[in-house]
Amino acid sequence: MTEPPAPHASSAHTSSARTSSANGTSHAAPGTAPSALTWHGGRLYRHGAPHRVLSGALHYFRVHPDLWRDRIRRLADLGLNTVDTYVAWNFHQPREDLAPRFDGWRDIERFIRTAGEEGLDVIVRPGPYICAEWSNGGLPSWLTGRDVAVRSSDPAFTSPVARWFDELVPRIAALQAAYGGPVVAVQVENEFGSYGDDHAYLHWNRQALTTRGIRELLFTADGPTELMLDGGTLPGTLTAVTLGSGPDAARQLLATRRPDEPFLVAEFWNGWFDHWGKPHHVRGVDSAVRTLRGIIADGGSVSLYMAHGGTNFGLWAGANDHEGRLAPVVTSYDSDAPVAEDGSLTAKFFAVREALGARGPLRSSTHSPKLRPARLPLHHHADLLPGLRAVPATASTAPRPASFEQLGLDAGMVLHTAHPRVPPGDHRLTLTDVRDRALVFADGTWLGLADRDSADLPIRGTGEVVRLEILVENLGRVNYGPGIGRHKGLLGPVLVNRRIVQGWDSTPVALQEWSATELARAVAAGPASTRAGFAMATFDVETPADTFLALPGSSRGLVWVNGFLLGRYWEIGPQVTLYCPAPLLRVGENTVTVLEMERLGERVELRDRAELGPEEEYVEEFG
């Protein structure tokens, strides 16, 4: 299907498949059913009957697919009638030269069908930008690496989006309520009003959905301020809001702008996510329930963000830009949700269930089974650089260090090597723009750590050539705001005093793509003589069950279980334990592999509960 042209505002609410009148009544094309959800007089209807959307966000890409049905069932037990999910483009198509994948963990059609089988409607939020504290806001780094004007009507952006939508949207369209499926609504872009004001792009996005077969309810979602609603709304398209507090003020604001539309909160932040080095955010039960009651009063509709947060497995966690400083998101996406990261039903679950008026018996267990706690000795097998070098990769040779984007690398690390001659005496080695963290070695000797705040290191020369190695780690791509799409790597020159070091070999270390064979090759590159590198532990399992991994004494690194990359750990917290779901384990021997960047501890611990760190009450305010 070819890319639709960007329409003018006058045609924003028309398509060959469906039209929406100003009051939300749907007019289907001949031979098709009308939209399941419509509105009139400030009220929402489902197939003509008064209706209230009680939804919960649950992202298929953050939950092991063997647990999708369990988590969806827990949302139904919560008293919800709908589940909503984003679609992460980069999760399906991390490389441009490969077709998007929709199998296994990426089988969004299976996820949607499972929700329908459990009696829930589905809302899909296809982006292409999703935020979601997900790497790059869901946009592929192969696209943003071109420095295109993302989230705009520039054809350099909309053309790749059109090709992606050609693959994605018909799959969603086939599962719409009009065809007997559970999809009842689709979001147009995502909180665009907090980013820009290119309304031609919003019109394009809406038409890109309708011309590919979407005929159910379309809506936008933005923060409840005049500025955000001015930038992110469309004529003839339902306006929803996202908020953590102040539902009455939001309702009044929408009533002045869209008096005939029902009140829909597309994201109610009943919890919040965490950054490394900051406290674990929680939202008090009473505070959350009080705001929820205010939203659903007088027929209001809501989606809990998150109802179940899940986990940022692998290296998919995003980051935020706080006044020029990167704030990476932790591996856990528990988000203090009613259904905890491991599926446990929390006190918030039961309070929300009561507020929603759910009365039936629970089909879900309160807690999932856990492995017995254990301490596993860690055996150090290979030092850091030899282990990384043991996995073959094609290096780039150039006068300057190659960025992640130039190497076609989304996440992981890059090992840069140069051979400058350093005069006798003490000198300064300066890394002018590190994105995000670098370990620096000279002739195999550790010089220090560099980042954007501290990028100046001492180096002593003898007048001979030095083998300078700089290992740069990507800590997460920005997922929100104008920093989306920023490049990673050594982006500025490396200096010895004021002289630029030239002539670099840059080798990508694609940790997220490593196979079990490649991981084993790194581990086998011993012997180990430092406190950084690759280590292993093993444990036996009779019956697979959930567990939580902790690494006391270790500094910062990554953990694999049976070759699957769980994610990042870091002693700065707040997160202490990494969630390991039961489907990742097997009967018999299981293997934990650790890549420690700085200081390896002596053991891995299996624990029977999450430890997400010291808590801080958090409520997002608009004003």
Q: pLDDT tens digit string along 253-263?
A: 999 999 999 99
Query: pTM for this one?
Result: 0.94
Q: What ranges in 312-457 are assigned the alpha helix state H?
A: 347-355, 384-389
> Measured between alpha carbons, how far is residue 604 from residues 5, 377, 594 in Å?
56, 6, 9
Average pLDDT over residues 282-290: 97
Lowest-pLDDT range, 13-17, 26-30, 253-257, 290-294? 13-17
d(CA 306, CA 294): 18
pLDDT score for 621: 63
User: At 298, which amino acid appears?
Assistant: D
Residue 335 Ramachandran class (φ > 0 left, ψ -120 to 50 alpha, else beta): left
The most confident of 16-20, 361-365, 451-455, by mean pLDDT: 361-365
- 16, pLDDT greater than 70: no
Q: pLDDT for 552-587, tens place per residue?
A: 999 999 999 999 999 999 999 999 999 999 999 999
pLDDT tier at 114, thresholds 50, 70, 90: very high
DSSP, collapsed to helix, strand or coil, labels residue 254 as helix
Residues in CB range of 83: below 8 A, 6 or more apart: 55, 56, 57, 58, 72, 75, 115, 120, 121, 122, 123, 307
Same topology between domain 9-355 and domain 392-512: no
pLDDT score for 69: 98
Token representation of residue 401: 């260090």
> Measured between alpha carbons, how far is residue 92 from residues 1, 89, 167, 333 in Å?
19, 5, 10, 20
Residue 18, CA atoms < 13 Å, CB-side half-sphere: 28
User: What are the b/e assignments for 111-131, b being 16+ CB within 10 Å?
Assistant: bbebbbebebbbbbbbbbbbb
Residues in CB range of 129: below 8 A, 6 or more apart: 137, 138, 139, 150, 151, 189, 190, 192, 195, 484
pLDDT score for 233: 98
DSSP, collapsed to helix, strand or coil, labels residue 449 as strand
pLDDT score for 18: 35
Token representation of residue 188: 């147009």
> Measured between alpha carbons, how far is residue 606 from residues 27, 49, 542, 544 in Å?
57, 51, 15, 13
pLDDT score for 32: 60
**Helix or strand (DSSP H, E) at 496:** strand 494-496
Please check whether residue 560 is in contact with residue 519, taking contact to mean a CB–CB distance below 8 angstroms. yes
Q: pLDDT for 396-418, tens place per residue?
A: 999 999 999 999 999 999 999 99
Neighbours of 602 (CB within 10 A): 14
pLDDT score for 73: 98
> How many residues make up the chain in this entry?
623
pLDDT score for 454: 82
Q: Is 347 exposed, middle or buried (0-12, 13-18, 19+ CB in 10 A)?
A: exposed
Q: What ranges in 307-367 are assigned the alpha helix state H?
A: 347-355
- 524, pLDDT greater than 50: yes
Fold designation for 392-512: Jelly Rolls (2.60.120)
Please check whether residue 364 is in contact with residue 345, taking contact to mean a CB–CB distance below 8 angstroms. yes
Token representation of residue 614: 């010291």
Percent of the chain with pLDDT over 70: 94
Q: pLDDT for 126-175, tens place per residue?
A: 999 999 999 999 999 999 999 899 999 999 999 999 999 999 999 999 99
- 53, pLDDT greater than 60: yes
pLDDT score for 15: 31
d(CA 611, CA 384): 28
Return the ∠ at Cα 333 (arms to 363 and 185), rounded to 5°: 65
Token representation of residue 334: 């528990």
Query: What is the assigned CATH class of domain 374-383+514-607?
Result: mainly beta
d(CA 369, CA 116): 27
Please check whether residue 466 is in contact with residue 442, taking contact to mean a CB–CB distance below 8 angstroms. yes
Peptide bond connecting 128 to the previous residue in cis, omega within 30 degrees of 0: yes
Of the candidates 72, 579, 75, which has an alpha carbon nearest to the alpha carbon of residue 338? 75
Q: Which residues are marked as active site?
A: 191, 267
d(CA 455, CA 473): 14
Of the candidates 548, 589, 612, which has an alpha carbon nearest to the alpha carbon of residue 370? 548
d(CA 145, CA 485): 7
Q: Give 8 or 92, the one with higher predicted confidence.
A: 92
Q: pLDDT for 431-471, tens place per residue?
A: 999 999 999 999 999 999 999 888 899 999 999 999 999 99
- 612, pLDDT greater than 50: yes
pLDDT tier at 56, thresholds 50, 70, 90: very high
Domain ranges of the chain: 9-355, 374-383+514-607, 392-512
Radius of gyration of the chain (CA): 25
- 108, pLDDT greater than 70: yes
Cα dihedral across residues 478, 479, 480, 482: positive or negative? positive
DSSP letter for each residue of 56-83: EE--GGGS-GGGHHHHHHHHHHTT-SEE
pLDDT score for 170: 98
Token representation of residue 267: 């994201």
Fold designation for 9-355: TIM Barrel (3.20.20)
pLDDT score for 323: 78
